[in-house]
């Protein structure tokens, strides 16, 4: 069996991978919070943006940043470009389907489990598709036990992430949820890597990894940097955009304006009454003045 190293650059690649996973999860959760305050096509747009954020930055970028630290002495690892891009599309599509199921379906545990299972299997598929993109002189096998454990982690992590997406909206709660999601995605990745065994090309069994492809520095690194920069820009943009509460208030205001233009009256949302002992007296006094003005008997108040 070939000797492989997952931490060739120390803790740099695990830390950066975890950081980007947290960033993608945070951005996606902020988008889903806004999706819950929207309807129709606007909700769809927010959910698709969340899927793009989680699928690319939260999952795919984390995976391949970690893979930058994966080396085999005496080997130069290349990556098949089409399979690598396909793995990213898989992550985005399965995340999007999971979010659409919980975003437009009934809010119950059955919907959550179905969506989480589908999304988790998709995340695991993305991971092992990304691994299949490697090209080197050797053969690949997996430990069945750790392989299954990694899939279970992906399913549980996806279900928890979807629960966060449908129940959390506050900034602090979203930040904590993103940190937990980062741990789950990283845990799934390194469990899958622990299941991997690389063998010399002449060994029997396993998947033959021979073939051409692009190097990590020439292909993966520029792509990872570009997606990361876009993720930071999107995070700043989302942070400056109206939050879910502000979106609901704007929607209620637009409804009242539309009703007023049609001649109908829509009562404003209830607010707390002012804490003033003179408010009831002022209200009666104004009502009395209005009646006096209507009957023409308004007179100056006696001292």
Q: Is residue 284 part of a domain?
A: no
* Residues 165, 27: Cα–Cα separation, whole Å: 11
* Residues 53, 181: Cα–Cα separation, whole Å: 13
Q: Is 211 left (phi over 0), alpha (psi -120 to 50) or beta?
A: left
Q: Is residue 47 part of a domain?
A: yes
Number of domains the chain contains: 1
Per the model's pLDDT, the better-predicted residue between 128 and 208 turns out to be: 128
pLDDT of residue 175: 86
Q: What is the pLDDT of residues 135-180, one digit of tens each?
A: 988 889 999 999 999 999 999 988 888 888 778 767 788 888 888 8
pLDDT of residue 267: 54
Q: Is residue 297 part of a domain?
A: no
pLDDT of residue 276: 41
Q: What is the pLDDT of residues 97-108, one digit of tens each?
A: 988 988 888 878
Q: Which two tokens stand for residue 231?
A: 């993720």
Judge whether 209 and 139 are in contact, CB under 8 Å: yes
Q: Is residue 7 part of a domain?
A: no
CA angle 89, 240, 61 (to 5 degrees): 25
pLDDT of residue 21: 92
Q: Is 74 left (phi over 0), alpha (psi -120 to 50) or beta?
A: left
Q: Is residue 298 part of a domain?
A: no
Q: Which helix (H) or strand (E) holds 135?
A: strand 134-135
* Residue 256 CB partners (closer than 8 Å, separation 6+): 266, 268
Would the pTM of this model clear 0.85, i.e. be above it?
no
The domain containing residue 139 runs over which residues? 12-246
State the average pLDDT for the chain.
81
């Amino acid at each position: 069996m070939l000797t492989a190293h997952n931490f060739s650059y120390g803790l740099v690649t695990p830390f950066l991978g975890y950081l980007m996973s947290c960033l993608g999860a945070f951005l996606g959760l902020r988008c889903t919070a806004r999706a819950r305050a929207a309807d129709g096509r606007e909700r769809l747009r927010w959910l698709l943006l969340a899927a793009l954020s989680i699928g690319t930055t939260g999952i795919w970028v984390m995976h391949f940043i970690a893979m930058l630290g994966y080396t085999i002495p005496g080997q130069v690892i290349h990556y098949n470009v089409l399979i690598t891009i396909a793995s990213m599309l898989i992550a985005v599509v399965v995340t999007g389907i999971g979010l659409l199921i919980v975003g437009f379906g009934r809010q119950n545990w059955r919907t959550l489990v179905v969506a989480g299972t589908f999304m988790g299997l998709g995340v695991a598929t993305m991971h092992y598709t990304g691994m299949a993109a490697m090209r080197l002189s050797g053969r690949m096998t997996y430990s069945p036990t750790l392989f299954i454990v990694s899939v279970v982690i992906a399913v549980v992590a996806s279900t928890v992430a979807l629960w966060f997406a449908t129940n959390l909206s506050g900034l602090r709660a979203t930040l904590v949820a993103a940190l937990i999601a980062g741990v789950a995605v990283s845990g799934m990745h390194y469990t899958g890597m622990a299941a991997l065994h690389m063998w010399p090309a002449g060994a029997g069994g396993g998947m033959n990894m021979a073939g051409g492809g692009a190097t990590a520095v020439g292909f993966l690194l520029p792509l990872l940097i570009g997606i990361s920069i876009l993720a930071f820009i999107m995070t700043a943009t989302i942070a400056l955009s109206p939050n879910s509460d502000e979106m609901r208030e704007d929607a209620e205001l637009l409804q009242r304006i539309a009703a007023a233009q049609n001649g109908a009256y829509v009562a404003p949302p209830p607010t707390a009454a002012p804490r003033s002992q003179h408010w009831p007296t002022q209200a009666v006094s104004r009502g009395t003045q209005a009646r006096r003005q209507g009957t023409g008997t308004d007179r100056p108040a006696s001292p």
